[in-house]
Amino acid sequence: MVKMQEKNIKTLSFGCRLNALECERIRGMLSRAGICAVIVNTCAVTAEAERQCGQAVRKIARENPGAIIFVTGCAATRNPGLFEKIPGAVVIPNEKKMELRAYLDKISQKNRGNSCPEINGNFDTENKLSKKFIQIQNGCNHDCTYCVTRLLRGPAVSFEYDEILANVRAATAAGFGEIVLTGVDAASYLHIENGRPFLISDLCQRLLCDAPEMERLRLSSVDPAVPAIRNIIEIMKTERRFMPHLHLSMQSGSDTILRAMRRRHTAEMVRELVRRADGKVSFSWDIICGFPGETDELFNETLELARELKPIRIHAFPFSPRPGTVAAEMPNQIPRNTARARAAEITAVAAENLHEFMQNKVGNVCQVLVESDNVARTPDDIPVKIAGAAIPPRTICDIKITGATDDMLLGINI
């Protein structure tokens, strides 16, 4: 959960980093229009995420009875009734969230003035980040059987290159040391340029060329089935400014389960990506545990693949049946406690992988991006605590790795 604040607008974002980025854009749009409100950008990826969103909006309403609360995002789009009954809450569906007129019309319909009551709550600022997330696309054209996000976000739309480049240049001018490209399905980025496809790999290569002031470029989660990921890996191996880490939306390591999910990759395709990386690019995964029909044997296929390919982090979570998706109606649903136990088991494997990976870094010199309190991020996106004098956030510097804890490297400035 990500929170931020600016003057007369306070925002609360749940779920993916894209939601936090959209909150920032909405905040700027409403602030320029002089609107005072709370913005809540919701998530519907799991039932628990949806429940937390409703709980948070009710709490904000109790603490701020005079405030307008604009509720948008996937949970508000999927289940507007959950929020419309909350005093002060106004639902803005996903397709309208970037349209100022939608907010103005809602204010008019509610006969609300534009007073600015003091808003209570713990809202931090996104600007504390050392890295800047930049959206390159929205929506998804695939039909994974478990996913409600694609139903709520609509088809894939890729943003214009000139707009992306302008945002990158503005971010670097503002002092951000690292740019992270993100989207609902960022790897599917596609434009036709002079009759030829302009892909995610082309986008990254051109940004590295056209924005030489950009010190670090990183990708958010990507689909391992996209052929352009092979080109991405080749660029990462040769371009020092392109951070050599990929977060793969794996979801499973079993081909049987991947077919049931209607995913487009196989375990062997992921093996090929790791072989191509040749130890110069690290990986992390998303894994859904307890998908319908996932027997112990099929889960063990995922577990063994994690031991073989050694992703350094795994975001594992229990399957959550979402209404309106194919998977919600599939037979052989897995008990929730079994899914949770599997998530814990594969998370432990990832922790072993990370420990081994970090131990191999001890004694090496690496470039890091300082975030706060002398905690920085390596190119592999591993936190490192730097001993000694305070280093300003957003500083990029070389450090020597001197040791490792369970989940963090230790280093000294050189």
pLDDT confidence of residue 36: 87
| Inside any domain, residue 63 | yes
CATH number at residue 239: 3.30.750.210
pLDDT confidence of residue 66: 82
pLDDT confidence of residue 34: 87
pLDDT confidence of residue 6: 47
Tokens of 397: 């510097």
* 168 plus 229 within the same structural domain: yes
* 238 plus 154 within the same structural domain: yes
* 351 plus 288 within the same structural domain: yes
The span from the CA of 293 to the CA of 326, in Å, is 13
The span from the CA of 320 to the CA of 147, in Å, is 10
| Inside any domain, residue 250 | no
* 69 plus 16 within the same structural domain: yes
* 385 plus 353 within the same structural domain: no
Tokens of 62: 């109790």
| Inside any domain, residue 271 | no
User: SS3 for 316?
Assistant: strand
| Inside any domain, residue 253 | no
| Inside any domain, residue 270 | no
The span from the CA of 341 to the CA of 190, in Å, is 39
How many structural domains does the chain have?
A: 4
| Inside any domain, residue 101 | yes
* 104 plus 141 within the same structural domain: no
* 147 plus 239 within the same structural domain: yes
Report angle CA 141, 143, 149 to the nearest 5 degrees: 75
* 234 plus 152 within the same structural domain: yes
| Inside any domain, residue 119 | no
The span from the CA of 368 to the CA of 7, in Å, is 32
Structural domain of 295 = 277-360
CATH number at residue 58: 3.40.50.12160
Last residue of a domain, one of 54, 79, 109: 109
* 78 plus 161 within the same structural domain: no
pLDDT confidence of residue 9: 83
Q: Can you give the pTM of this predicted structure?
A: 0.89
Q: What residues in the chain have per-residue pLDDT under 70?
A: 1-7, 110-117, 122-128
| Inside any domain, residue 267 | no
pLDDT, tens digit, 9 for 90 and up, residues 156-213? 999 999 999 999 999 999 999 899 999 999 999 999 998 999 999 999 999 999 999 9
Last residue of a domain, one of 342, 360, 378: 360
Last residue of a domain, one of 317, 335, 360: 360
The span from the CA of 71 to the CA of 234, in Å, is 42
* 320 plus 386 within the same structural domain: no
pLDDT, tens digit, 9 for 90 and up, residues 240-279? 999 999 999 999 999 999 999 999 999 999 999 999 999 9
- Strand-pairing partners, residue 224, are none
Is 95 within 8 Å of 75 (Cβ atoms)? Answer: no
